[in-house]
């Protein structure tokens, strides 16, 4: 018997997952915080944030917090703690990517009950279109992991299990920061060689911090690490990459964010990630450069000079 699924958060990613699960015959409810937006989606059978992805007939939309067997939480990272008290007592599948500002905690470090991380190289519009994709579902609870994979996989959405929720969550958070740097490189016209080097060194940064936090190397080299990093650093649909690209072309951060309605997670994640790395005694030069660039402490030429003039050493 299929377990009921409630997707908490009706942004592009939450909507894509709800459409995916409903199309596969699951019992799905999509929760939107704004009652007016929920009513608009009910009437149009589509989310304006994800145009062209019509809702399957069985997909319900509500502004009342639903109860279900599985809660897929797809709210922005900085809203996770605030929504937790409203959720029913059911296993949580956390889809938010980032670190909480102030505490510098990853998503599974905020939740006290049973939870898993769902992460990987996935763009919402492709998932909603039914294009083939794969992701990682990570939790140290083997029984919960098996149950959730069985409940959430679909013919077009292959899930791989992992016990390493820390590494999976960190990969999903840090790749957004590296993607901003990759966008800056391309926006500034510095070339594919520079981007390839930056992605590779960015992966090394993530791996160092993951090891310090107890994550596994194979997690960072898999879908939730390298896979997500490659997609986000090269895909033009990436909000973080596109923000970096515009910064590289000379636009200000305020100007870019002022023209967006969707959250660009890497902006809030960068300083929190740098602080978490400092707490762990881990050096992350690309993350540091992005943090200073976003804070207006360096411009693009200064940022690139700082990275290229670091002390020479073995890889």
Domain 5-165, what architecture? 3-Layer(aba) Sandwich (3.40)
Q: Could you please state the CATH topology (level 3) that the domain comprising 174-308 is classified under.
A: 1.10.1040
CA nearest to 218, candidates 163, 283, 287: 163
**Euclidean distance between CA atoms 14 and 124, whole angstroms:** 8
**Euclidean distance between CA atoms 177 and 172, whole angstroms:** 10
Domain boundaries, the chain: 5-165, 174-308
Q: What is the pLDDT along the chain (315 residues), one digit of tens a residue?
A: 689 999 999 999 999 999 999 999 999 999 999 999 999 999 999 999 999 999 999 999 999 999 999 999 999 999 999 999 999 999 999 999 999 999 999 999 999 999 999 999 999 999 999 999 999 999 999 999 999 999 999 999 999 999 999 999 999 999 999 999 999 999 999 999 999 999 999 999 999 999 999 999 999 999 999 999 999 999 889 999 999 999 999 999 999 999 988 889 999 999 999 999 999 999 999 999 999 999 999 999 998 888 877 766 767
Q: Is position 216 annotated as part of the catalytic site?
A: no
**Catalytic residue of the set 97, 175, 216, 292:** 175
Residue 308 confidence (pLDDT):
77
């Amino acid at each position: 018997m299929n377990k009921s699924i409630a997707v908490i958060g009706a942004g592009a990613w939450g909507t894509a997952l709800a459409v995916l699960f409903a199309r596969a015959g699951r019992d799905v409810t999509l929760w939107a915080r704004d009652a007016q937006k929920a009513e608009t989606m009910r009437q149009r059978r589509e989310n304006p944030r994800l145009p062209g992805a019509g809702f399957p007939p069985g997909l319900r939309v509500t502004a009342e917090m639903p109860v279900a067997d599985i809660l897929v939480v797809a709210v922005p990272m900085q809203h996770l703690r605030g929504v937790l008290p409203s959720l029913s007592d059911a296993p949580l599948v956390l889809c938010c990517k980032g670190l909480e500002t102030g505490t510098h905690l990853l998503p599974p470090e905020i939740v006290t009950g049973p939870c898993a991380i769902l992460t990987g190289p996935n763009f919402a519009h492709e998932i909603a279109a039914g294009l083939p994709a794969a992701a990682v579902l990570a939790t140290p609870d083997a029984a919960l992991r098996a149950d959730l994979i069985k409940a959430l996989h679909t013919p077009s959405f292959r899930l791989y299990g992992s016990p390493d929720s820390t590494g999976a969550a960190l990969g999903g958070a840090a790749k957004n920061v590296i993607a901003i740097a990759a966008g800056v490189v391309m926006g500034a016209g510095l070339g594919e060689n520079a981007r390839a080097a930056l992605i590779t060194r960015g992966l090394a940064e993530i791996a160092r911090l993951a090891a310090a936090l107890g994550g596994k190397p194979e997690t960072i080299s898999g879908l939730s690490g390298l896979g997500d990093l490659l997609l986000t650093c090269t895909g033009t649909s990436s909000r973080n990459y596109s923000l970096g690209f515009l910064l590289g072309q000379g636009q200000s951060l305020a100007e870019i964010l002022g023209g967006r309605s969707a959250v660009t997670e890497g902006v809030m994640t960068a300083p929190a990630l740098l602080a978490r790395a400092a707490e762990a005694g881990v050096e992350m030069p690309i993350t540091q450069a992005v943090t200073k660039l976003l804070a207006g402490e360096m411009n693009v030429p200064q940022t690139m000079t700082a990275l290229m003039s670091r002390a020479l050493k073995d890889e």
